[in-house]
Structure 1
Amino acid sequence: MFLQKNSHCIHIIGGDFNGWHPLWGSPRANRRGNSIVDLITTNNLIICNSGSHPTFETITHGIHRESIIDLTLTLNSPPNQVLNWKITKDPSPSSSHNGIIFDLHINKNSLIKAKKLSTYKYNTKNIKWDQIKDVFKKEICEHLNLNINIEQLNSSELENYVSKLTLAIQNVCKKLFSQKCNFTQRAQWWSDKLEELKQKVLKNHHKLQKLKRGKKIPDGGIN
């Protein structure tokens, strides 16, 4: 689905596909290999692999085993080409997978330039901060008590205080500053679900940092 919706874009797909097929040098095809071929043909992709050197090598029970399961795929678009594809062991000496290197030739005219979007919400170019700081502080004091000793707060109280302080700053900025017309709050593909997951990751990160400082990492991590 992703490839179909983005067929107009330049993309390179690489990884361990764990499938066999003569199209990329395997001695025979297996079910997964046939599925990969279907993916390639239905999405107008080409296989960049060249030669018959194995991409994966290992020794199990004293027997040397090798296969070609790492593929590099790209859109079948002549202006943009993957050239000089080859296997090398230099980048991954400790891995069972051999390294893959290639040159990428891109036609600059085919690139889709992203619109310039500012990450700054408010226009602060001509603001004189030495004159506005007292007004800014006064406005924040109306939303939040700044006389609290944060060193005496526990983790939950501190997190709640930081949230209130952030909200207070945002409210004051809305009142004092003009907003940029080209400001985008988030990328077009960003969803409420992703924002929820992001906040969960941040919260777990803070928990991990706290536990690491106390050397109390629980078995199985944090849920």
Structure 2
Amino acid sequence: MEITQINLNHCDTAQQLLWQSMTETKCDVAIISEPYQVPPDNGNWVSDRTGMAAIHVMGRFPIQEVVESASEGFVIAKINGVFVCSCYTPPRWTVEQFSQVLEQLTNKLIGRKPVVIGGDFNAWAVEWGSRVTNARGYILQEALAKLEVRLCNEGSVNTFRKDGRESIIDVTFCSPNLAANMNWKVSEEYTHSDHQAIHYRIGQRTPVATRRSITDGRKWKTKTFNKDLFIEALRPDGGVDNIDATELKRRMMMACDTTMLRKSEPTNSRRPAYWWNETLSTLRAACLRARRRAQRARTETEIEERKSAFREARSAFKLEIKRSKSNCYKRLCREADANPWGDAYRVVVAKIKVRPP
């Protein structure tokens, strides 16, 4: 499974960008801290009772079981045989409350394997790249040691960046058997949040086929197959001596075309967000460039100028998202009158998936 882990900072634009990013990267699961909104009665989403820790699935693997969603600070769901836990422990919590929530989390996960735990714990530890280890860092490591999980963070890239303040507070743990070929990394893509996204993979990647089928991916409606017509279409119009594989393939495909109707191209289950367009792609890239320039500024004058340019780029991007969503919504409303089962129906269905029992 391909997983994205991120703190959205309760930002609508950041959550909309996450949807688009999951589509572009073919991500299966998002482990989310501080989502903007968890859609109610949507089987692709599950959250803790406060809505501050959430899991969103998109793609090949549905939520098989909701293990825990009544607690505060974490949610657990079984996805493709893996127990996925999303966490968020706000900095306002006392050490005692932090410790109690971690105890509840470990009690829920003891005996359940394999497991992935990710989230914003607001904890520092030198083990995952912080300058020092604070009380939360010690408590977190001691609590999760009961589960026989290993730390997945690699390198020292900061996951939280805001106004010159940077730290590593987004952490991932998993069962040892899931760590192979994980490829854990902090993404530099623009998120519109003060946290960077983390991408990683668990389990074995599906092997890429090195040989294509003889039909090059083309398919036919076999219900329309006519045996007599197929045999007639295969009759050689010349000799059959020394026929090679390429010629045999060509004749087979022609006979199939003669005998059966072609299937339509399969629809892509990972369509971009209905409001996404090329202008937004350009503005997102501009935001990323402006942010990088601001981070590299040295003098006070440079810092202020580049921060101002970044704020302008962010505002333009956010405004264009609102404009595009508004225009697309109006278009969908108009089209729904003429074609109720078109794009408008698809968008609505995507928002009201029924949660499995």
TM-score (normalised: structure 2): 0.27
TM-score (normalised: structure 1): 0.42
Q: Choose 1 or 2 for highest CA Rg.
A: 1
